[in-house]
Amino acid sequence: MDSYETGRFSQEKMIARLSQWLYTAAICLMLPFGLFLLLRKRANKPHVGSRWKEYLGYSEAKPDWHNTIWVHAVSVGEVIAAKPLIIELQRKYPLSTILVTTTTTTGAEQVNKIASNIEHRYMPLDIPCFVKRFLNTIKPQKLIIMETELWPNTLSLVDKANIPIYVVNARLSEKSKNNYQRFGALFRSMIPHVTKILCQFPSDLERFKQLGVEQHKLYVTGSIKYDITIEDDILQLAQETRTNLGTERPVWIAASTHQGEEQVIINAHKLILKHFPNALLIIVPRHPERFDRVHQLLLESGMTTVRRTSSEIVTSNTQVYLSDTMGELLTLIGASDICFMGGSLLGDKVGGHNFIEPAALQKPIVSGPSYYNFYDIAESLLKNEAVYIEDSSKNIAQRIFNLIEDADKRHQVALNAYGVFKQSSGSLSKTLELL
**Domain limits of the chain?**
3-220, 232-423
- Separation in Å, CA 357 to CA 99, 269, 342: 25, 22, 13
Look at residue 276 and tell me whether its pLDDT is greater than 60: yes
- Separation in Å, CA 187 to CA 144, 202, 300: 18, 20, 47
Look at residue 2 and tell me whether its pLDDT is greater than 70: no
- Report strand pairing: 305-307 vs 387-389: unpaired
The larger pLDDT score, comparing residue 238 to residue 49, is at: 238
Average pLDDT score over the chain: 91
User: Is the CB of residue 298 less than 8 Å from the CB of residue 324?
Assistant: no
The CATH number assigned to the domain with range 232-423 reads 3.40.50.2000
Tell me what pLDDT residue 47 has: 85
Model confidence band, residue 11 (pLDDT cutoffs 50, 70, 90):
low
Mean of pLDDT values over 324-329? 90
Q: Among this protein's residues, is 312 annotated catalytic?
A: no
pLDDT digits (tens, 9 = 90+) for 372-397: 888 888 999 999 999 999 999 999 99
Tell me what pLDDT residue 375 has: 85
In the chain, % of residues over pLDDT 70? 97
Count CA atoms closer than 13 A to 433's CA, side-chain side.
8
The one catalytic residue in 54, 78, 357, 390 is 78
Distance CA 170, CA 412 (A): 31
Which of 96-105, 187-196, 301-310 is least confident?
187-196
Model confidence band, residue 10 (pLDDT cutoffs 50, 70, 90):
low
User: Is the CB of residue 373 less than 8 Å from the CB of residue 207?
Assistant: no
Distance CA 406, CA 96 (A): 52
- Separation in Å, CA 222 to CA 41, 147, 170: 37, 12, 9
Matching fold, domains 3-220 and 232-423? yes
pLDDT digits (tens, 9 = 90+) for 162-218: 999 999 999 888 888 888 888 778 888 888 999 999 998 898 999 999 999 999 999
Mean of pLDDT values over 3-11? 53
Tell me what pLDDT residue 41 has: 83
Distance CA 362, CA 330 (A): 12
Q: Which DSSP state fits 216?
A: G
Look at residue 37 and tell me whether its pLDDT is greater than 80: yes
Tell me what pLDDT residue 4 has: 46
pTM of the model: 0.73
Mean of pLDDT values over 328-354? 94
Q: CA-based diameter of the chain, in Å?
A: 80
pLDDT digits (tens, 9 = 90+) for 353-364: 989 899 999 999
Look at residue 271 and tell me whether its pLDDT is greater than 90: yes
Look at residue 419 and tell me whether its pLDDT is greater than 60: yes
Mean of pLDDT values over 76-90? 89
Q: Which residues of 77-98 are buried (b: 16+ CB within 10 A; e: fewer)?
A: bbbbbbbbbbbbbbeeeeebbb
pLDDT digits (tens, 9 = 90+) for 102-154: 999 989 998 988 888 899 999 999 999 999 999 999 999 999 999 888 899 99
Mean of pLDDT values over 236-260? 97
Tell me what pLDDT residue 244 has: 95
The number of angstroms, rounded, from the C-alpha of 380 to the middle of its chain's C-alpha atoms is 19
Write the CB contacts of 264 (distance below 8 Å, at least 6 apart in sequence): 345, 392, 393, 396
CATH number of 3-220: 3.40.50.11720, 3.40.190.10, 3.40.50.170, 3.30.56.10? 3.40.50.11720
